[in-house]
Amino acid sequence: MPPAPLPSFATRLIDWQRAHGRHGLPWQGTRDPYRVWLSEIMLQQTQVQTVLAYFPRFIQRFADVQALAAASADEVMQLWSGLGYYSRARNLHRAAGQVVAQFGGQFPTDTQALQSLPGIGRSTAHAIAAFCAGERVSIFDANVQRVVARYLAFEGDLAQAAHVRQLWALADGLLPAPDADLRQAMPAYTQGLMDLGATTCTPRRPQCPRCPVAQDCRALRTERVLSYPVKTRKLKRSSETWYWLVLADGPLHAPGTHMLLEKRPERGIWAGLHCFAVLPSQEALLARLAHCTEAAALAGWPGWAGGAGQAARPAPAVQWQNGFRHVLTHKDLLLIPALARLPHAGAQPRPALHAGAQAGGAPLRWVAVGDILGGAVATPAPLLAWLKAQQSAPAAQSPIKFE
C-alpha cells in the first residue's frame, strides 16, 4: 500500500489561512465582485490600515456599481483624496460606467472581461475572479512574489519583466489541484497567499517557525530567506523646487477665509485635484500673482476694484513661507508656499476670475478654508497637511501692503 501523499503547498496554505489568516476585514466574506473590485483597487500600493478608513465610506456613499457610475468624477475624487495614485480613482469611475454600459450593470467575474476594464490588470483580474468565481488563476502582487520566490529559491531578478513572468508561471504550479472544490479553495488559497506575505513571510523579519510551508521552503533550507526575492533597485530620485501661490482674502486660521485653487490636469501629478497654483520659480510666481490680482480687480473684487484704471494696481506683497519636503517614488519635491492677500471680501460673493489668470486655462475656484479642511474638495495630501499646520500656528497677520 503506497503511503498517503503529503499535503500540498495549496492544502497547507488553505488550512493555515482558515486558522491563522486575516478574517473579518470589511471586504472579506463576500463574493460581490463590486466590493472585491473596490477593495483590490484601493489596496494597490496601499496598506490595509489606510484602506480601512476609506472603504466603508466609499461603500456607504456608493452601495453598488450603478451608484458609482451615476456619480460625478469630482465626487469620486473627493472620496479618494489622500489615498494617492489618483489615476486609480479616475479609472474606477470610468470602469463603473463601462460595467453599466457594456455589461448591463452586472459586474463581470471572469478574467477576460475584467481585464477589459480600465485600472484592472492581470493580477487584479485574477484576484477578483479567484475570490468571486473560484477561477483557478494566480494573483501575483509583491507579497506573493516574495513568498513564491523564497519557497522556490527563485534566482531571477524581479526588476526584469521576463523574470516576473517566469516566476508567475511557476506560481501556477502551486495552485490547488484542478479537481478540487475550487469555489471553496480558491478564495482561501488566494487570501492565504496574501496573508502569509503580509504577516509571516515579511520582507525584513520573516517568522519562518510559524510558516505552514517551511518544511518545503528552498530558501529556508539553505538559510537564505532574506536573499529572496532578488530585485535590483534603480531608483534615482530627481529633486525639484516648486513654489505654491497661496492667494487668500484673510488669515489662514479663519474658516471663512477663501483661497484660490485651480483644478489640476487629468494627467500627471495630483491629477484632477484642486491645488494652489504651482510655479517653477519665484519670478514665475510673482508674474502669476500679478495676473491673478489684476484679474480679480477687473472682475470687481469687493473693496478693491474701483472702476477704470484699477486693473493697473500693483499686486500685493507676498510672504515667503518656509519650504517643506514632499517625497514621491521618483521625485523629491521642495514645496515653498508664498502667501499673498487680497482684501477681505466678507460675505460678498467673490467674482470668478477669467481663465487668463491661469496659464493653462484650468478651472479656478475660491474655496473657504473650512471647506478645504472639511474635505469638500479633493486636495493633495501635502496641501491639506500644510493648511492644517497653519491652523495651530497662524502666520503673523500683517496689513495688506500695496507697493
Partner DNA sequence: AAGTCGGGGGA
Partner DNA sequence: TCCCCAGACTT
Q: Is 162 in the site for DNA (CB under 7 A)?
A: yes
Binding range to DNA, per CB under 7 A, among 207-215, 246-254, 351-359, 379-387: 379-387
Other beta carbons within 10 Å of 156: 17
- The amino acid at 339: L
Q: Is 85 in the site for DNA (CB under 7 A)?
A: yes
3-state SS, residue 64? coil
Phi, psi angle pair for 384, to nearest 5°: -60, -45
Q: Is 91 in the site for DNA (CB under 7 A)?
A: yes
The secondary structure of residue 333, as a DSSP letter, is E
Residue from 64, 66, 82, 100 touching DNA (CB under 7 A): that is: 82
Residue from 270, 301, 304, 366 touching DNA (CB under 7 A): that is: 270
Binding range to DNA, per CB under 7 A, among 71-79, 96-104, 123-131, 341-349: 123-131
DSSP H or E run through 320:
strand 318-320
Grid cell digits, residue 196:
502569509
Size of site (CB under 7 A) for DNA: 63
**DSSP assignment of 243-284:** EEEEEESS-TTSTT-EEEEEEPPSSSTTTT-EE-EEESSHHH
Residue from 29, 56, 121, 314 touching DNA (CB under 7 A): that is: 121
Q: Is 390 in the site for DNA (CB under 7 A)?
A: no
Residue from 124, 138, 257, 358 touching DNA (CB under 7 A): that is: 124
Residue from 19, 329, 360, 399 touching DNA (CB under 7 A): that is: 329
Q: Is 125 in the site for DNA (CB under 7 A)?
A: yes
**Between residue 240 and residue 269, which ones bind DNA under the rule CB under 7 A?**
267-269
**Between residue 206 and residue 245, which ones bind DNA under the rule CB under 7 A?**
231, 233-235
Burial profile 179-192: b = 16 or more Cβ within 10 angstroms, e = fewer: ebebeebbbbbbbb
How many whole angstroms separate alpha carbon 196 and alpha carbon 320?
49
- Which one, of 88, 34, 90, 21, lies nearest residue 62 by Cα? 34
Burial profile 271-309: b = 16 or more Cβ within 10 angstroms, e = fewer: bbbbbbbbbeeeeebbebbebbbbbbbbbebbebbeeee
Does residue 40 have an active-site annotation? yes
- Which one, of 125, 122, 168, 111, lies nearest residue 36 by Cα? 125
Q: Is 59 in the site for DNA (CB under 7 A)?
A: no
User: What is the nearest approach in angstroms of DNA to the Cβ of residue 235?
Assistant: 7
How many whole angstroms separate alpha carbon 138 and alpha carbon 176?
10
Q: Is 360 in the site for DNA (CB under 7 A)?
A: no
User: What is the nearest approach in angstroms of DNA to the Cβ of residue 204?
Assistant: 5
Q: Is 20 in the site for DNA (CB under 7 A)?
A: no
Residue from 19, 24, 49, 309 touching DNA (CB under 7 A): that is: 49
Binding range to DNA, per CB under 7 A, among 56-64, 112-120, 336-344, 386-394: 112-120
How many whole angstroms separate alpha carbon 160 and alpha carbon 112?
25
Q: Is 380 in the site for DNA (CB under 7 A)?
A: yes
By C-beta, is 348 or 391 nearer to DNA? Answer: 391
Alpha helices by DSSP H, listed for 309-380, are 369-373
By C-beta, is 50 or 66 nearer to DNA? Answer: 50
Binding range to DNA, per CB under 7 A, among 7-15, 66-74, 180-188, 324-332: 324-332
Which residues make Cβ contacts (< 8 Å) with residue 266, sequence separation at least 6? 90, 272
Q: Is 141 in the site for DNA (CB under 7 A)?
A: yes
Burial profile 69-86: b = 16 or more Cβ within 10 angstroms, e = fewer: bebebeebbbbbbebbeb
Q: Is 143 in the site for DNA (CB under 7 A)?
A: yes
The secondary structure of residue 29, as a DSSP letter, is S
Grid cell digits, residue 400:
495688506
Other beta carbons within 10 Å of 212: 20
Residue from 7, 15, 20, 48 touching DNA (CB under 7 A): that is: 48
Binding range to DNA, per CB under 7 A, among 102-110, 286-294, 368-376, 377-385: 377-385
Binding range to DNA, per CB under 7 A, among 83-91, 253-261, 302-310, 349-357: 83-91
Strands 258-263 and 274-275: antiparallel
* Chain positions contacting DNA, by CB under 7 A: 22, 25, 27, 39-40, 43-51, 82-87, 91, 118-125, 141-143, 146, 159-162, 191, 194-195, 197-198, 203-205, 231, 233-235, 267-271, 326-331, 380-382
Q: Which residues are catalytic?
A: 40
